[in-house]
């Protein structure tokens, strides 16, 4: 049987179409699959991550996972902080945020130190040392705000999600729990 050029052309186009559809299906499956991945960590990290706001917890897990992939031990120092705890911090140092004015009060921020080869990178470490880890760049790519980028306050241990605004979170917290700071559960604010 002899196929003319027109028939061959149609066969080629059909095959190409099938290949493209197949690739699209594979890409969609891969993207869906990657979103379902849940990361689990050391008991210490879990203690801090499990109390973050449920709407952003998985994003923090992904960030910490990427830090570990870079070969760092991630040492959490703060995540969700109650309004009462924030009030104590503000009383100690008025450079600290007032109760309800920190992303930590809603479980939207995580403070960490990093350790590799016996060297610990901490709050007092220079910005250049943090940048050299490659982690601030990863955090920015994932949509996090990094405290090392703050103009007025050196806080490179701090990684946060900035949406919704602190004003909005505060208003929702008061609407849900009332104005007594002791009654507010910031990490349970309904968005």
Binding site for Zn ion (CB under 5 A): 109, 111, 158
| Placement of tokens 């306050």 in the chain | 153
Compute the least distance from the CB of residue 78 to Zn ion, in Å.
Answer: 6
Q: Which residue, among 69, 157, 73, has the nearest Cα to 112 in the 3D structure? A: 157
Which residue's CB is nearer to Zn ion, number 56 or number 109?
A: 109
Which residue's CB is nearer to Zn ion, number 55 or number 78?
A: 78
Which residue's CB is nearer to Zn ion, number 85 or number 180?
A: 85
Compute the least distance from the CB of residue 147 to Zn ion, in Å.
Answer: 6
Compute the least distance from the CB of residue 102 to Zn ion, in Å.
Answer: 7
Which residue's CB is nearer to Zn ion, number 53 or number 158?
A: 158
Compute the least distance from the CB of residue 66 to Zn ion, in Å.
Answer: 19
| Placement of tokens 């007092």 in the chain | 124
The 10 Å Cβ neighbour count of residue 35 is: 9
Q: Which residue, among 175, 149, 177, has the nearest Cα to 162 in the 3D structure? A: 149
Rounded distance, CA 178 to CA 83, Å? 13
């Amino acid at each position: 049987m002899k196929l003319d050029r027109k028939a061959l052309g149609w066969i080629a186009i059909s095959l190409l179409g099938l290949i493209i559809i197949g690739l699209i299906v594979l890409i969609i499956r891969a993207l869906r699959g990657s979103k379902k991945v849940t990361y689990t960590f050391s008991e210490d990290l879990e203690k801090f991550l499990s109390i973050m706001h449920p709407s952003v917890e998985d994003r923090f897990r992904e960030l910490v996972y990427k830090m570990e992939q870079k070969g760092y031990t991630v040492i959490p120092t703060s995540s969700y902080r109650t309004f009462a705890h924030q009030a104590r911090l503000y009383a100690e140092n008025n450079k600290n945020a007032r109760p309800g004015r920190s992303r930590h009060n809603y479980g939207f921020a995580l403070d960490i130190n990093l350790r590799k080869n016996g060297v610990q990178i901490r709050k007092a470490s220079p910005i250049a040392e943090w940048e050299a880890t490659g982690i601030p760049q990863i955090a920015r790519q994932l949509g996090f705000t990094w405290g090392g980028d703050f103009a007025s306050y050196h806080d490179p241990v701090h990684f946060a999600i900035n949406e919704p605004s602190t004003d909005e979170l505060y208003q929702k917290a008061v609407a849900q729990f009332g104005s007594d700071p002791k009654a507010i559960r910031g990490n349970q604010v309904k968005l």
